[in-house]
Amino acid sequence: MHRYYRSIGTIAFSFVALALFVVLGTSSVHAASPELSSEQRQHIRSECTQIKGSLSQLHASDALLRVNRGQVYESMTSKLMTPFNTRLSTSGLDNKAMTTHTLQYQSALVAFRNDYILYEQKTSEALRIDCGQEPARFYQAILDARDLRSTVHDDVQKLHRIINDYGDAVGDFLLNYKRLAN
């Protein structure tokens, strides 16, 4: 299921990126103020409806992914990590490594939530721009949204690394516990 969502997100992002690449070509653009040629502005104007349609589909699929992933990420800490750490602590067992990873995870989860909100707001802003009238502003909003989406992707990767680290810490704990029990 995880691969499915990642594939859908990757395909959707690639589709929008490809559409922009085809429409705008490979010219360099300054992050603060895109200097679009008259030809590029015309391409954006003529493909405005299609680009906005693709962006709207990406926005909707990302929202669904955010809800589904958000629920899984919340469950990881509220239903797995924290209760397990609490059981170990109340049993007088060493849970420092797991607690450290849980705190890192919770911090990364907050960053994921906040960064996703910024990404969603910027994407919504891009969708509200009349690309027929303001192609440069629209293009810049898409560039900004793309950068924020990349940040969200990095947040997801960090969450997954921490989950793996937590799993490794649990494995180490179980090995040590078995050694001590024997």
Q: Tens digit of pLDDT for each residue in 53-74? A: 999 999 999 999 999 999 999 9
Q: In the structure, what pLDDT confidence band is assigned to residue 182 with cuts at 50, 70 and 90?
A: confident
Spatial contact of 57 and 47, defined as CB atoms under 8 Å apart: no
pLDDT of residue 19: 43
For 91, other C-beta atoms within 10 Å of its C-beta total 8
Q: In the structure, what pLDDT confidence band is assigned to residue 181 with cuts at 50, 70 and 90?
A: confident
Count of H-run helices and E-run strands, the chain: 5, 0
Query: Quick check: pTM over 0.85?
Result: no
Does 148 or 31 have the greater pLDDT score? 148
The yes-or-no verdict on residue 147 having pLDDT over 50 is: yes
- By the 10 Å C-beta count (0-12 exposed, 13-18 middle, 19+ buried), 100 is classed as middle
Among 126, 138, 123, 129, smallest CA distance to 44 is for 138
Q: In the structure, what pLDDT confidence band is assigned to residue 110 with cuts at 50, 70 and 90?
A: very high
